[in-house]
Amino acid sequence: MKNIAVLGCTGSIGRQTLDVIRANPDKFRAAVLCAGRDADAMFKAAEEFRPDYIAMADEAAADKLRQSGIKAKIAGGEQAVLEAAAYEGADIIVNGISGFSGMKPLLAALEAGKTVALANKESIVCAHDLVNAALKKGGAIIPVDSEQSAIFQCMAAGNHGEIQRLILTASGGPFREYTKEQLKTVTPEQAGHHPTWKMGRKITIDSASFFNKGLEIMEASYLFGIPGERISVLVHPESIVHSMVEYTDGCNMAQLSRPDMRLAIQYALTYPERTPGEFGRLRLEDIGKISFYAPDTDKFPAIPMAYEALREGRNLPIVYNGANEAAVDMFIRGKIRFDEIADVVGYAMSRADRGNILSLEDIIKTDRQARRLAFEKGNA
């Protein structure tokens, strides 16, 4: 029996992690539940899973839960979240916290020597040097993102020195066939619906704009030690092949499965073993044909912008991420158009101070500047 700490348990990854735990009661127990401010959703989860420790980022939400009669230790605030991430009794920490907010919990977990099932790509993009230092404490990262999980699994087929390139696949999102003019009319509601995956709102919009793929390019480079020029992207609308590893002998290893995040989550929780699952089987005979083609980087410049950030390094990946988070927020609030997200990020990347990242404070400072520049452009 593995004790699991689920960070972001009321979000998309968190809820799907609880699905996996619910389906495997003899293998997993939700010992820790952590969320932001949704006390009602946390109450329902706590009633079902009966954790030992509950952490809410919002103090008021923690107070509301204390009054509910739940029999668990309940704490609120940022420190409570960090304690959940480093919880002594947890065997695996699932980091499903969205965006930049997931960085400190990841570092706290690794500093405590924990194994982290990581769905938060922003942490790797922004803090990879600090993450590598924290990994020396004995912890480990098992990727949960479908693309990174696929690469992780395919890398078992050879040695690291035999890898020619990594090939990340992308669904292309709902607007892959739109013209530039049509992209100007995309609404937040339209961008919040993905054709093949069930995900949270922000990552769904990032998938539509290809900024999610840009973040994944950088994440893959940092996670697996492969330079950007040896990482490719292919649009694959069916979302069946989740990524590939090409080896020096010309052979490609691919990981195929139904587009269901619970498969990658279950793999991370059971690694290095596999266990029978109840989340469906892939039937290629029902799918018939699958397709691949190069992304249109003229319509979707997020990919070349990611390669630029990766090449330059230093603090530019943090600018890319922070400006995008701010731009998506402005798009949702109707302040900018969908096609202007890339303009906002490009503006921040061209004007942000350049510098090396030596500490957590450096990361936070760069992120704040990136968001300020993004709002400056968006409100111009």
The CATH architecture to which 149-260+290-378 belongs is Orthogonal Bundle (1.10)
Q: How wide is the angle at C-alpha 342 spanned by C-alphas 339 and 345, nearest 5°? A: 145
Residue 136 CB partners (closer than 8 Å, separation 6+): none
Q: Where are the beta strands (DSSP E) in 217-345?
A: 231-235, 241-247, 252-256
Q: Where are the beta strands (DSSP E) in 173-325?
A: 231-235, 241-247, 252-256
Residue 84 CB partners (closer than 8 Å, separation 6+): 5, 7, 32, 34, 53, 55, 105
> For each of the chain's 380 residues, which pLDDT tens digit applies?
999 999 999 999 999 999 999 999 999 999 999 999 999 999 999 999 999 999 999 999 999 999 998 999 999 999 999 999 999 999 999 999 988 999 999 999 999 999 999 999 999 999 999 999 999 999 999 999 999 999 999 999 999 999 999 999 999 999 999 999 999 999 999 998 777 766 778 888 999 999 999 999 999 999 999 999 999 999 999 999 999 999 999 999 999 999 999 999 999 999 999 999 889 899 999 999 999 999 999 999 999 999 999 999 999 999 999 999 999 999 999 999 999 999 999 999 999 999 999 999 999 999 999 999 999 999 87
CATH no. for 2-143: 3.40.50.720
Beta strand pairing call for 241-247 and 252-256:
antiparallel
Distances (CA, A) of 180 to 185, 193, 201: 9, 19, 23
pTM to 2 decimals? 0.95
User: What ranges do the domains of the chain cover?
Assistant: 2-143, 149-260+290-378
Residue 79, amino acid: Q
Residue 79 CB partners (closer than 8 Å, separation 6+): none
User: Which strand ranges, in their side-by-side order, compose the sheet holding 241-247?
Assistant: 231-235, 163-170, 241-247, 252-256
